[in-house]
């Protein structure tokens, strides 16, 4: 088994990598919460966080932060910028004598049956972690009055700079993308879409010390968060993976602890990262040699049930007159399972939604009605397939999934126009 480039032998009782039991228990690569309400932190320093479906900042601030998608970490709040830039040099307090941190290491050592020397090493590493004052506020949810806006969200990702960067990435890594598709069944446009949305193909992978970020969220998660206990427990598990696998204290990533081109959290690095270039190590940070990142993303999707050849969604036509009738519950019924495919096209039609399946489409295929709100304008709707749902295992957001899909399609279309033989992309 290939070694991960950032660690030596893991500190576990068996000497093997600790793994979660089933795919359903695995957290998404760059999430801040477990199933079923995970968030994902794109562009390293969380500059895209404001555009995820929860919109954690008021819309006015979100518009300002939108420019961070191109400018990266520079548009973070000044304090966050300073902490990301200087890490341990900020003079912030460490967790060396923090009571919760000491208890955490003691419990971890007992659970993993670590030796006294191994326990001391964990404690020494955790003692190097610094509290980041700017990070906890970034975890707070959006005010309930904040409107979701797919058109705005989409415009931050499906834009010329990102498409051009995607074309360049695809051309430079065409053979690797094809090999990933052959092995895992995931088409190039999905992998290209993920890496483009996450880090702009490695341009924005984060400037926070992961150790600092994880420790801050593990021991000082904001108590006013509605699910603070659950989220804090999640970050403690991620911190445990970081420490047990001896990831370096100076490793950089997002303010939520996600790293590399695909923004994997520590548990996902352990569970899903692969040595796809066969050099004997796993390196998700190498922008010049992104084979491991490409293979790891494809591997993740395969594990969560990607179906080769299945589209991600179908267009729909809504019977608005029917939906607007008093006491009509069709919309509520179709949206009740959220984005879990639960209805056939015939069942959706009985609730006023005509799914525009092609002649080759499977009428028995389970679908989900996906609603994308557009602020004060009418929402957009599509019928999501199982593959759409799989994309949301990377990030529990239909907005994110559509951005990944449409960015990948835009890149594929751009390549098809200039180099038709390089892609089999056919406009929907």
Distance CA 9, CA 165 (A): 37
Please provide residue 142's backbone torsions phi and psi, each rounded to the nearest 5 degrees. -70, 155
> What number of other Cβ atoms are within 10 A of residue 363's Cβ?
10
198 is a catalytic site residue? yes
Q: Do 295 and 180 touch, CB atoms closer than 8 A?
A: yes
Residues 6+ apart with CB under 8 A from 26: 20, 267, 268, 271, 272, 303
Q: Do 50 and 57 touch, CB atoms closer than 8 A?
A: yes
Conformational region of residue 385, where left means phi above 0, alpha means psi within -120 to 50, and beta covers everything else = beta
Distances (CA, A) of 355 to 96, 311, 384: 58, 13, 10
Q: What is the largest CA-CA distance in the chain?
A: 71
Query: Residue 255: helix, strand or coil by DSSP?
Result: coil
Residue with tokens 């477990």: 34
Distance CA 403, CA 106 (A): 43
Distances (CA, A) of 229 to 29, 260, 358: 21, 27, 47
Total number of residues shown for the chain: 428
Which residue in 83, 198, 365, 409 is the catalytic one?
198
Distance CA 266, CA 263 (A): 10
Residue with tokens 């084979």: 291
Q: Do 296 and 57 touch, CB atoms closer than 8 A?
A: no
Residues with a known catalytic role: 198
């Amino acid at each position: 088994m290939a070694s991960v480039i950032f660690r030596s032998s893991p500190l576990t009782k068996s000497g093997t990598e600790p793994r979660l039991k089933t795919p359903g228990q695995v957290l998404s690569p760059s999430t801040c919460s477990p199933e079923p309400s995970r968030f994902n932190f794109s562009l390293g320093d969380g500059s895209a966080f404001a555009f995820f479906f929860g919109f954690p900042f008021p819309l006015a601030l979100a518009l300002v932060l939108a420019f961070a998608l191109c400018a990266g970490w520079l548009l973070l709040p000044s304090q966050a910028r300073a902490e990301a830039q200087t890490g341990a040099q900020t003079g912030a307090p460490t967790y060396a004598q923090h009571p919760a941190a000491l208890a955490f290491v003691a419990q971890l050592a007992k659970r993993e049956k670590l030796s006294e020397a191994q326990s001391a090493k964990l404690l020494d590493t955790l003692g190097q972690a610094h509290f980041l004052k700017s990070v906890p506020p970034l975890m707070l949810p959006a005010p309930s009055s904040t409107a979701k806006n797919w058109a705005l969200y989409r415009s931050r990702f499906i834009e010329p700079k990102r498409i051009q960067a995607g074309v360049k990435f695809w051309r430079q890594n065409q053979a690797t993308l094809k090999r990933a598709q052959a092995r895992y069944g995931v088409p190039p446009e999905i992998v290209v879409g993920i890496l483009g949305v996450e880090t702009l193909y490695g341009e924005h992978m984060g400037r926070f010390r992961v150790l600092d970020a994880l420790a801050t969220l593990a021991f000082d998660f904001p108590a006013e968060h509605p699910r603070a206990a659950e989220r804090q427990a999640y970050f403690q598990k991620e911190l445990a993976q970081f420490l047990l696998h001896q990831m370096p204290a100076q490793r950089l990533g997002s303010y939520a602890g996600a790293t590399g081109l695909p923004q994997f959290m520590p548990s996902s690095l352990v569970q899903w990262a692969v040595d796809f270039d066969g050099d004997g190590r796993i390196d998700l940070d190498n922008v010049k040699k992104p084979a491991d990142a490409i293979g790891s993303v494809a591997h993740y999707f395969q594990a969560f049930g990607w179906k080769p050849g299945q589209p991600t969604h179908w267009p729909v036509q809504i019977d608005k007159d029917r939906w607007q009738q008093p006491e009509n519950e069709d919309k509520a019924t179709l949206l009740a399972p959220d984005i879990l495919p639960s209805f056939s096209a015939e069942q959706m039609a009985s609730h006023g939604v005509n799914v525009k399946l092609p002649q080759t489409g499977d009428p028995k295929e389970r679908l989900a009605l996906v609603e994308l709100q557009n602020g004060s304008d009418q929402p957009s709707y599509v019928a999501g397939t199982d593959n759409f749902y799989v994309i949301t295992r990377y990030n529990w957001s239909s907005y994110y999934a559509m951005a990944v899909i449409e960015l990948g399609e835009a890149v594929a279309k751009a390549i098809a126009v200039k180099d038709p033989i390089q892609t089999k992309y056919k406009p929907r």
